[in-house]
Structure 1
Amino acid sequence: MNFNKKLAVAVSGAVLLMAGQVALADSATDIVDALVSKGVLTEEEGKLITKGHTSKTAVTPVVKEKDGAYILESANGRNSIQLTGRMHFDYRDSDIDGSIGGRTDDRDTASLADQFELRRARLGVKGKFANDFKYEVVGNLPGTATVDIAYLDFAKYEQVQLRAGKFKQPFGLEQLISSNNITMMERSYLDQTVPSKKLGFQVMGTPTKGMTYAGSIFQNSDVELNINGDGKSSAAGRATLNFAEIMGNKEAVMHLGIAGLESNYAISTSSSSQTETATPSATSRGTISSFRSAGRGLNNLFRGQVGGENCASNASYACASEYGASVRQRAYGLEGILATGPFKLMGEYSAGDYRGQQQANQTKYDTTTYYLEAGFFITGEKYADSYKNGVFSSFKPKNEFDIDKGQWGAIELALRAEGYEVDNVAFTGTGGRIQGSLQNTTENSQGNKAGAKTYTAGIRWILSPNLIMKANYAQTNFDYAFKPIDINTTAAPISNIDKERLLMFRTQYMF
């Protein structure tokens, strides 16, 4: 072997030894192939050099990058792991902070404050193993760390897949769209009536192009609450059709969906530590459900409660520490999306009923929630590009933000109208009540009503798949003027309020 050939062999060998990462593997092999083709190396010498390297790369994990996220995958592609995370940092300004009178140090007025909020900070991992099993585990970091989701899928077949663990239940289009990908900063009133992330088991799939289904059984608490098994009979189901996909139209979304829910859960009861008077209440109650204004503004626009144990007659026990109450919720939902090119209309409607029970005490009422949202990408992105399996996923700008190139990412303008209504209120026994924006200010009035409507304008600036800025302005009109509940008015009276205005901003990062 002459000197040049020895040098080529040495260089080739050195390159291959350094090519431990798959990013260099192909280029190193190309170098050897080029040397063989030019006659510098013989085919036998080329094979000899690459032989050991080929066997090594056959078991070397592969690092892949997609939209700012990195995935470590086994060489055979059957196993993978990816680190995931998100951070949503908000600022919120309310026009009714301090304007209602009363004490500004009252703890129940906290939702009126102008404030920064670390809305979400999560870290997790997801991936697959044995090719057919997928997993995801995500933890919430702010405050006391908790498990956000943790599930395992058997996903060999698109038509029928199985999921077990803690995951989003199949009810509510807006809920099933990731918080990273919703248009507005916050979801609508309808989202405040859905089960969200619960422990359970689900069957789901895509039986044919353009169709999805999911059905689950679940429980409402991560821990035991009573001997009856908190959620043994809770179930939810959803089915969708995208007629545009069925017809082969990749430029549009024509989505219809239906969903149903029956949820049974336990609630704790307690006596109120603070009321509208200086004397704490001795009545034990448990909260069945409540509404907060859109945009995470004023708390308890509506609150429904069932009476608990009689504190006076159960003096041998610490009041409300011994017994809880049960709640049954039933609901159905309708959803739709009409999108073509950079324009979309999306809406949902849900109707249901709640029944809270504690021995002879019962509180019942019906709820209706709805919204209609319009969006338009002034930069031309198409909504159909991000629609998959019955929901919107992440949006990728046509031109990612790059100030040096004069590229600004994607910009979406949006409007949303939404509302909730509560009616057919009925009480049995004692202690039950509803509060908030009520037609009749008597809290235990049979047949009472409650409601509010919110109108939101928003802008979403998608700089890249990893970075989003949002701004929202929302006005909530209460159907009936009211005084915010559970505020101590001993020091000063409180004025009725009939509307709320919120200005909100978000910086959002995810990978």
Structure 2
Amino acid sequence: MSRTRLAATAIGLASALAASEAQAQSASSSEQEIALLKQQLKLLEQKLDKLQSQTAANTAATAKAKAEAKAEAKAEARSEAKAVVANANAAIPVKGPAPASGVVVTMPNNRPTICTADQANCVAITSRVHWDVGGYDYRPNTTATVPQKLDSGENVRRARIGVTGKFLNDWNFALIYDFGGSSDGFGGTGAAGTTAVGFLPGGGTSGIENAYISYTGLKPFGGKMAIEAGVMDIAWTMDESTSSNDIAFMERASVGIIAQNIAAGDFRSAAGARWYNDEFYAGAYVTGPTTGAIHSASSVSPPGTSEQYGATARVAGQVVSGKDYSVHLGGDAQWLIQPPRNLVANTQTLTLSDRPELRIDPTTLISTGAIANVSGAQVYGVEAAATYGPLWVQGEYYWFNIDRNANTGVPLIGAPSLKFQGGYAQAAYVLTGESRKYNPGNAAYGGVKPDHPFSLDGGGWGAWEIAGRYSTMDLNDQLGTAAGIPGGRQTVYTLALNWYVNGNVRFMLDYLHGTVSRQSSPVSTADVGSKFDAVAMRTQFAF
């Protein structure tokens, strides 16, 4: 019922009431009818108020419904817009996250290292210094023995500084210069190969020790692979595969040094690859001349030589490994494919020699001299090592074959090939309980890292290690014939005490007892060898 109709009804009732009141003047019986009409009028007013309230509620509900419908429409439109955007983004190629900006400076093992924030590009400064002091008690067998004396003193064995690092995660590089004066295989009396430029008193050469680049992005057969080229330390022989910062003695055994220097060794140019995982290692390289070798056809003084070429191969691995123990076995091969040729004298020679496992005096005690008409050489070896807690043992043995059939116009063409051999066995025990960890990348055991570095401020006393080695090298062959080589046989016993102060500093104390048996000529029977004892100490820091 509308408001107009209610008003008309009320007016009608009021008119009727007025009429009734007029009639009541004439009849008192109409009072009851008037009271009844008033009651009905009151009821009508209450209904009117109720209808007005209901109308207001209906209006509010209608407005709310409209608002909800509008909001729902907006939400649906927004959802459709998101779907359109998602479909558009799906058609656009996905790009990786933007590279992080800035650099991060760290000091792993106190080596200053700068990397980009995403660790994809790094450059680090590296250095090592090995300073040796020591003395000899040298006893020649006869007055004809050469030399008659070895000089005691001091020697900066290694003094290297350089940079290493990586870029774009998978490319690695190193550029390291050695200022030391006694690198293996260079200069000195009877050094292997040709004499290098830059000979320094002390029996060695300063020069570029490492300058290479490697790629490690390939990971075939579930392992890691490095393809590398440049001037580098080739992980050939197990002893050479252990860093000079980590070897248990001041010098490596002579047999390894002589083998390395034929077509591998320090300062050697090379290219090749190695593959490894936690159990197995395999590597092969082609090698060239050393960084100091002269190969100029126009050079007369010193005479120019052609470049030499060779190759190496090594397979090795941990055949047994556990938490506190391991066993390692391996095999090595090396080939001198093209010996260096003296372009002036038209000769091809090769010299095998080494100092008596100490570098204070640069003089060699065993040497083949310059072997003539060398057309090539081969070296084959076996290696074995094991650890049990703080105990570590290692040994290697090598066989040498030198071919003497080069057509150089020099006598002895077609002479029988020469055969030499040698090896070593060594053991070490860490008194403070640390152990040497296996490095799969080089298939060799690393150094000792003290659990409690030395410190006067309530720290520990570092790590202490004792070690012993037996080493032998025989450079005699075909004695009693004119074509024989009396290079000499050397045997050395070494005892060592090493103090690892912390991860960067080490002190080494070595005692050596050696004998050399040597003839003055292939047909002589007189022993012009010698005996010696030596004590030496090394101060080492590296990062």
- The alignment's TM-score, normalised by the length of structure 2, stands at 0.66
Alpha-carbon spacing, 1:482–1:462, altered in 2? closer, same or farther (3 Å): farther
Residue 498 of structure 1: aligned partner = 530
Q: Is 2:367–2:475's contact at 8 Å kept on the other side of the alignment?
A: no
Residue 241 of structure 1: aligned partner = 317
Deviation of the 1:422 alpha carbon:
2.7
| Amino acid aligned to 1:215 | A
Alpha-carbon spacing, 1:496–1:66, altered in 2? closer, same or farther (3 Å): same
Residue 366 of structure 2: aligned partner = 302
Alpha-carbon spacing, 1:382–1:251, altered in 2? closer, same or farther (3 Å): same
Deviation of the 1:305 alpha carbon:
3.6
Which residue of the other structure, out of 344, 352, 361, is the alignment partner of 2:411?
361
Residue 524 of structure 2: aligned partner = none
| Amino acid aligned to 1:163 | E
1:100-499 maps to which residues of 2 (within 5 A)?
109=147, 112-142=150-180, 145-156=206-217, 157=219, 158-191=223-256, 192-194=258-260, 195-197=264-266, 198-206=268-276, 208-222=277-291, 225=295, 230-232=307-309, 234-245=310-321, 249-263=322-336, 264-266=338-340, 268=342, 288-296=351-359, 299-306=363-370, 326=374, 328-355=376-403, 357=406, 358-362=408-412, 364-384=417-437, 389-405=442-458, 407-425=460-478, 444=482, 446=484, 450-480=488-518, 496-499=528-531
Q: Name whichever of 80-89 and 385-394 sits farther off.
A: 385-394
Q: Percent identity?
A: 20
Two-structure CA RMSD over aligned residues (Å): 3.4
Q: Is 1:150–1:165's contact at 8 Å kept on the other side of the alignment?
A: yes
Q: Is 2:280–2:440's contact at 8 Å kept on the other side of the alignment?
A: no
Deviation of the 1:256 alpha carbon:
0.4
| Amino acid aligned to 2:272 | Q
How far, CA to CA, are the matches of 1:335 and 1:365 in structure 2? Answer: 23
Deviation of the 1:189 alpha carbon:
1.2
State the secondary structure of the residue aligned to 1:243.
strand
- Deviations 1:283-335 (CA, angstroms, capped at 9, x unpaired): x9955222322223573323224577xxxxxxxxxxxxxxxx65522011100
Structure 2 gap segments, 5+ residues each: 1-96, 182-197, 199-205, 298-304, 522-526
Q: Is 2:121–2:167's contact at 8 Å kept on the other side of the alignment?
A: yes
| Amino acid aligned to 1:453 | T
How far, CA to CA, are the matches of 1:470 and 1:91 in structure 2? Answer: 11
Deviation of the 1:111 alpha carbon:
7.5
How far, CA to CA, are the matches of 1:113 and 1:253 in structure 2? Answer: 42
How far, CA to CA, are the matches of 1:289 and 1:467 in structure 2? Answer: 34
Q: Is 1:216–1:237's contact at 8 Å kept on the other side of the alignment?
A: yes
Q: Is 1:270–1:285's contact at 8 Å kept on the other side of the alignment?
A: no
Structure 1 or 2: larger helix share?
Answer: 2
Alpha-carbon spacing, 1:270–1:455, altered in 2? closer, same or farther (3 Å): farther
State the secondary structure of the residue aligned to 2:340.
strand
How far, CA to CA, are the matches of 1:89 and 1:454 in structure 2? Answer: 22
Residue 8 of structure 1: aligned partner = none
Alpha-carbon spacing, 1:231–1:459, altered in 2? closer, same or farther (3 Å): same
Deviation of the 1:497 alpha carbon:
4.6
How far, CA to CA, are the matches of 2:295 and 2:374 in structure 1? Answer: 10
Deviation of the 1:460 alpha carbon:
1.1
Alpha-carbon spacing, 1:91–1:100, altered in 2? closer, same or farther (3 Å): farther
The answer to whether residue 128 in structure 2 is matched with residue 86 in structure 1 is: yes
Q: Is 2:509–2:537's contact at 8 Å kept on the other side of the alignment?
A: yes
| Amino acid aligned to 2:273 | V
- The alignment's TM-score, normalised by the length of structure 1, stands at 0.70
Structure 1 gap segments, 5+ residues each: 1-54, 272-283, 309-324, 426-438, 484-494
Q: Name whichever of 466-475 and 94-103 sits farther off.
A: 94-103
| Amino acid aligned to 1:502 | A
How far, CA to CA, are the matches of 2:148 and 2:362 in structure 1? Answer: 9
Q: Is 2:332–2:382's contact at 8 Å kept on the other side of the alignment?
A: yes
| Amino acid aligned to 1:165 | G
Asked which structure has the greater RCO (Cα within 8 Å, sep 6+), the reply is 1
How far, CA to CA, are the matches of 2:348 and 2:228 in structure 1? Answer: 36
Structure 1 or 2: larger strand share?
Answer: 1
| Amino acid aligned to 2:470 | A
Deviation of the 1:502 alpha carbon:
1.1
Alpha-carbon spacing, 1:366–1:205, altered in 2? closer, same or farther (3 Å): same
State the secondary structure of the residue aligned to 2:433.
coil
How far, CA to CA, are the matches of 1:331 and 1:497 in structure 2? Answer: 26
